[in-house]
Amino acid sequence: MENEGNDKLGGGPPTQITSLEGKIEFWRQRISLFLGPLLALVLALLPMPGLEGRAHLLAAIIGWVVVWWIGEPVPIPVSALLGAVLCIIAGVADAKTVLAPFAEPTIFLFLGSFILARAMSVHALDRRVAYGILSLRWVGERSWRILFAFGAIAALLSMWISNTAATAMLFPIGMGIVSAMADMEAGGGRSNPKQRRFATAMMLMAAYASSTGGIGTPVGTPPNLIGMAMIEKFTGVRIQFFQWMLFAVPMLLLMYGVLFALLYLLHRPESRGLKGGREFIRLQKAGLGPWTRGQKNAMAAFLVTVVLWVIPGFLAVFLGGADRLTLGYGRRLPEAAAALLGAILLFILPVNWKKREFTISWRQALEIDWGTLLLFGGGLSLGGLMFQTGLADHVGRGLLALSGAGSLWGITLAAVFIAIIASETTSNTAAANMVTPVIISLALAAGVNPVPPALGAVLGCSWGFMLPVSTPPNAIVYGSGYVPIGRMIRAGLLFDLAGGITIWAVLRLLLPLVGLA
């Protein structure tokens, strides 16, 4: 689950932007503000043989929205709402048709999971989990083990909370570790951790592992749910929670191994051991005190939700996907209902009954990322209209003729890297909304199974690691001053390439085994 906002995150540092980057950002926003409507006007006036009037107008509107998604002259969710409103005004479809996707069940799956993640943050349950893992005896004071465990925590947490929240939470922990280690190795004096390779590795690990972990579950990052919803809507194939994890978790484990090896080799620690690390973690963990009632309640609601999410997968494995019990459970308690049930528990489980205080308050729940819900609804709306008007089929056939890719796995490989490139220029949620329906239409035009290419595009949208502006976690760690831009570009480029190949290889190997190819 990713926070698409660009505001300073609570608990995180202010993002530091150089004057050159500030100027680039300024002109990017100003130029795109006028380029969006100008492009829409040009596309509306440009002859497009083979497209009916509604599809032609929709192409112009999407051109405007995509430019604004990339340039961000206004908040990205506002651009999504603009696209929906323009479709109604232009007569592409009526208001009921355009706005219906904003009430898709997946929206409520997002809503429930966001509230669960918010409760974990409010009660510092995520921080307790992090310090608990770092204090394990195996981790000790070996630098490579600390780096490995630190990244594993980020990946584990981001399977269930947003990668931005995971990075913001782990960022001060990582800074504390590297600062304490630098001072201890200086013999009690003060040293500058910004000059240490290990500090760069820790910061990049916080960002990259958080984004990597999001692929592990459907709720780990918005593109996953966007892809699942679009695949079901446009192809009729429904991917269940457990079925997703069957191929995504092995991919995550392999990807994390690649990430650890890459960061360790590129930023080899100055020393093999970091004296005092265990004591630092012990003191931080002790500062949290004993488990609170709020932490216990948040953990209980979270576990209930996860169990309800994975039960259909186990039923399908042991009873078969067509069994009456499996189908009945899926109808009565789908993922969206399970997420909402878990969220509702947070408002029922008390932390102080006498004062009528519960695990989460409505005021706290209101602080979730509502913008992502609107962006997701807008993306589903535009994607659905592309198929209804025939625009998606037209674009797909055009791309098929242009690319020359005709085989299932050739299209999948192209989809992965198209999505990676898109995610480097805009948010991963916006990239998923742009790329996924086009890739599905391209696969349908080629006469191949659209599920593998669509999944390749969805997973590729989570792979934007080169630049601070590629994703909020990158911006957070770049703001520390511990990550020179050259090192981020080098590590990000290598991980983009390695990740793209790994995504394609794992999909080709595992999707046939889980019945999706």
The rounded distance, in Å, linking the Cα atoms of 71 and 316 is 44
- Out of 368, 395, 423, a domain closes at 368
User: Is 463 within 8 Å of 421 (Cβ atoms)?
Assistant: no
364: tokens are 């706290």
Q: Which of 512, 496, 414 is nearest to 462 (CA)?
A: 496
Length of the chain: 517
pLDDT in the model for residue 125: 85
| Residue at 355 is within a domain | yes
d(CA 461, CA 457): 6
Q: Are residues 302 and 357 in the same domain?
A: yes
Same domain, 37 and 84: yes
Report the distance separating Cα 292 and Cα 290, nearest Å.
6
Q: What is the 3-state secondary structure (H, E, C) of 226-268?
A: HHHHHHHHHHCCCCCHHHHHHHHHHHHHHHHHHHHHHHHHHCC
Strand partners, 357: 352
State the pLDDT at residue 377. Answer: 86
Answer yes or no: is 111 within a domain: yes
| Residue 117 located in a structural domain | yes
Same domain for 26 and 83, yes or no, is yes
> For residue 470, what are the CA distances in angstroms to 200, 373, 476, 492?
18, 20, 11, 10
Strand partners, 350: 358
Buried b (16+ CB within 10 A) or exposed e, 208-228: bbbbbbbbbbbbbbbbbbbbb
Residues forming beta bridges with residue 352, ordered by sequence position: 357
Q: What is the pLDDT of residue 253?
A: 95
- For residue 311, what is the enclosing H or E element? helix 293-319
Containing 151, the helix (H) or strand (E) segment is helix 143-158
Task: Give residue 16's pLDDT.
Answer: 46
Where do we find the tokens 């020359």? 404
Q: What are phi and psi of 142, to 5 degrees?
A: -75, 130
Structural domain boundaries enclosing 64: 9-92
- CA dist 289 and 280 (Å) reads 15
Q: What's the token pair of residue 220?
A: 């780990």
**Domain's final residue, options 368, 386, 403:** 368
Average pLDDT per 10 consecutive residues for the chain, totaling 517 residues: 38 46 77 94 90 92 88 86 95 94 84 86 82 76 83 89 77 74 55 67 91 89 88 89 92 95 86 65 81 93 87 76 79 87 95 92 89 82 85 76 77 90 77 86 88 94 79 76 82 93 95 89
| 358, β-bridge pairs | 350
Tokens of 2: 């990713």
* Helix ranges (DSSP H) in 333-450: 335-348, 362-365, 370-389, 391-403, 408-425, 428-446
Mark whether 14 and 88 lie in a shared domain.
yes
Instruction: Report angle CA 281, 130, 290 to the nearest 5 degrees.
Output: 75
Together in a domain, 352 and 310: yes
- Cα radius of gyration rounded to whole Å, the chain: 23
Residue where one domain finishes, among candidates 368, 386, 420: 368
| Res 345: pLDDT | 96
User: Are 14 and 40 contained in the same domain?
Assistant: yes
Dump pLDDT digits (tens) for 141-183: 677 888 898 899 889 888 887 787 778 777 777 777 777 666 5
Q: Are residues 362 and 339 in the same domain?
A: yes
Domain annotation covers residue 35? yes
The pLDDT value given to residue 1: 46
Integer Cα distance of 108 and 114 in angstroms: 10
What interhelical angle do 485-510 and 197-213 show, nearest 10? 40
Specify the number of domains making up the chain: 2
How far apart (Å, rounded) are the C-alpha atoms in residues 359 and 352?
A: 9
Taking CA 89 as the corner, what is the angle to CA 84 and CA 90, rounded to the nearest 5 degrees? 95
Q: Specify if 391 maps to a domain.
A: no
Q: What pLDDT is recorded for position 3? A: 41
Q: What's the confidence (pLDDT) of residue 6?
A: 35
Q: What digits encode the pLDDT tens for the residues 19-59? A: 666 677 788 888 999 999 999 999 999 988 888 899 999 99
pLDDT for the residue numbered 390: 84
What type of residue is 278?
R
**Cα→Cα distances 292→59, 124, 212, 298, Å:** 54, 10, 30, 10
